[in-house]
Amino acid sequence: MASTTLAPARRGFSLNHTVQSLLLHGALLAYMALAVYPVILVVVNSFKARQAIFRNPYALPTPETFSMAGYDTVFNRASFPNYFVNSLIVTVVTLILIFIIGSMASFALSEYRFKGNALLALYLSIGIMIPIRLGTVSLLRLLVSLDLTNTLAGLILVYTAQGLPLTIFVTSQFMRDVPRDLKDAARVDGASEYRIYALILPLVRPALATVMVFNMIPVWNDLWFPLIVAPAENVKTLTLGAQVFMGQFVNDYGAVLASLSLAMIPIIILYILFSRQLIRGLTSGAVKF
C-alpha cells in the first residue's frame, strides 16, 4: 500500500525536476544567444563589403557581398601587427606581474598575523570598489614626472596596480583554506617560506586562473588608458589602433570589424584553455563568499 502511495509522488517529483531543468537550460541558452549574437554579427559583417554591411547587416555573406577588403586593409595598409604585438606585450607582462606580486602578497596576508593585517585587507577591498579611472589625472601626472608616458611600461604599471586588489583579495581567501598541517609539516622538514609558497600555488590554481582571466579581459579590451597614457603610433594597442579606421568623414567599417574580429581570438583561446579552472574557481568562490 505504501509503495503504491509513493509512486505518484515520485513521478510528480521527477516531472517537476524535469520541468525545472528544462526552464533553467532554456534560460541559459537564451542568455548565451544574447551574449554570442553580437560577436557573431561582428565576425559575419567583417567578411562583407561596406555597402552590404549597411544594406543588410543581419544577412550572411553571399558571393556578391563577400569581401576581404577589411582584412586586406588591416594587414597591408595599417600597423595592425604592431598594435597586436603591443597589446600582447602589455597583457602578458601585466599578468606575470599580477601573478607574482599578487600571489606573494596573498600568501603573506593569509599566513602571517601582524598589526594592520585586517586593515590592509580592508584597504584592498576598497581598491576593488573604487574604479582606478577616477585617479586618471593623478596617474597621468605621476607618469609624466617619471617620463613613462607613451611607453608600454607606463601602461603595464597602471594595469598591474588595477589588477592587484582583486587578485590579492580573492587568492588570499583560497590560501587561508589550505590545511595548516600541510604547511607546518613542510616547515618541520626544513622547507623555506618560498618553498612553502611554491607548494601552495598548485592548490589554489582555480582561483589564480579565475583572477588571471578577469584581469586579462579588461587589459586587452581597454581603450581609456592607451588613449590617455600612450597614444603615440609606435605604442598603440589593438583597441586604440582600431580607431585609426574611424575618420571624420569616412569610416572604414570593414576594417574596424576585421580588427575587432582578430582581437577576439586571444580571449577565445584563453577561455578554451582555462574554462575548466575558471568554472571551478567561480563555483568555489560562490561557496566561500
Question: What string of pLDDT tens digits covers the 289 residues of the chain?
Answer: 545 555 555 555 566 778 788 888 889 899 888 888 888 898 898 898 888 888 888 888 888 888 888 888 888 877 888 888 999 999 999 999 999 999 998 888 888 877 777 787 777 777 778 888 888 888 899 999 999 999 999 999 999 999 988 888 888 888 888 888 888 888 888 888 888 888 888 888 888 888 888 888 889 988 899 989 988 888 989 888 877 777 644 577 888 888 888 888 888 887 777 766 666 655 554 444 4
Tell me which H or E stretch contains 47.
Answer: none
Q: What per-residue string of b and e applies to 54-93 under the rule 16 or more CB within 10 Å gives b?
A: eeeeeeeeeeebebeebbebbeeebebebbbebbebbbeb
> Could you give the CA distance from residue 235 to residue 226 in angstroms, rounded to a whole number?
9
Shortest CA distance to 69 belongs to which of 261, 258, 265, 260?
Answer: 258
Note the pTM of the prediction, 2 decimals: 0.80
Residue 243 grid coordinates: 580607431
Q: What is the CB neighbour count within 10 angstroms for residue 231?
A: 14
Ramachandran angles phi, psi of 70, nearest 5°: -65, -45
75 with 81: CB under 8 angstroms? yes
Please enumerate in sequence order all residues whose Cβ is within 8 A of that of 209, keeping only pairs 6 or more positions apart, or say none: 274, 277, 278, 281
Do the beta carbons of residue 136 and residue 228 sit within 8 Å? yes
Grid cell 594592520 in the structure block, residue: 116
Task: Using alpha carbons, select from 171, 173, 174, 195 the residue that is nearest to residue 183.
Answer: 195
Residues 6+ apart with CB under 8 A from 115: none
Give me the pLDDT at residue 86, please: 93
What the block records as the C-alpha cell of 220 is 586587452
The pLDDT, as a whole number, for residue 49 is: 85
CA 146, CA 277: separation in Å to the nearest integer? Answer: 38
